[in-house]
Amino acid sequence: DTAVSQTPKYLVTQMGNDKSIKCEQNLGHDTMYWYKQDSKKFLKIMFSYNNKELIINETVPNRFSPKSPDKAHLNLHINSLELGDSAVYFCASSQFPYEQYFGPGTRLTVT
Amino acid sequence: DQQVKQNSPSLSVQEGRISILNCDYTNSMFDYFLWYKKYPAEGPTFLISISSIKDKNEDGRFTVFLNKSAKHLSLHIVPSQPGDSAVYFCAASVRDDYKLSFGAGTTVTVRA
């Protein structure tokens, strides 16, 4: 039974399109995160929600919008996709700070 | 501005020998450090952590050492096994902060 799941695993789309990535955790954690792993392999935090409240909002284009309908779900919506958005996006969750549990990632390719 | 640096992108080690992975940080406010392991096409998984009040933490074959004065930590894997072949990320955080800063990772290859 997957602890942190993401859909889709792969996403290929054209520039200018709008797409969403969904994340669900069944660990009962209060906090969820979105990370971006770019071509240089750095994992960078984008957003974090704690009990549906936004607690981390890094410098990210406002084309990216997270939405947390409940504490088990955190979705990422991206408007007007650009070539530079191509990356692997990871969702994660934690009960406390520090030890975060990651999903398998979504590889986004913008053509 | 990368506050956590892993200067060795790769490491090759023979099975049964010790693997030593290094990590340096620049932010003196960091007081909690973690190592994550990542296999291809999977998300990172938590491996071991250390608080700044300690200088060593062990968990089975994995030991993390912290040198606060040098702003340096290392992960020792003894003995190395083929299943240890993966990318290892160092991460750091300020106390009670949910934000983790990650290094770029070190790819470990364990040779039979």
Q: How far apart are CA B57 and CA B80, in angstroms?
A: 18
- Verify cis geometry, omega within 30 degrees of 0, for the bond prior to B79: yes
* For residue A2, pLDDT beyond 90: no
Q: Who contacts B61 (Cβ-Cβ below 8 Å, separation ≥6)? A: B77, B78, B79, B81
State residue B16's pLDDT score: 97
Tell me if chain A has a CB within 8 Å of the CB of B41. yes
Q: What is the pLDDT of residues B3-42, one digit of tens each?
A: 999 999 999 999 999 999 999 999 999 999 999 999 999 9
* Residues in chain B closer than 8 A to A41 (CB atoms): 87, 104-105
Tell me if chain A has a CB within 8 Å of the CB of B102. yes
In b/e form, how buried is each residue of A59-73, taking b as 16+ CB within 10 angstroms?
eeeeebebebeebbb
For residue A43, the distance in angstroms to the closest alpha carbon of chain B comes to 6
Q: How far apart are CA B76 and CA A87, in angstroms?
A: 30
Q: What SS3 state is found at B89?
A: strand
State residue A41's pLDDT score: 82
Q: What is the pLDDT of residues A5-24, one digit of tens each?
A: 999 999 999 999 999 999 99
Quickly state the pLDDT bin for A1 (edges 50, 70, 90).
Answer: low
Query: Within the 6-25 window of chain B, which residues sit less than 8 Å (CB to CB) from chain A?
Result: none
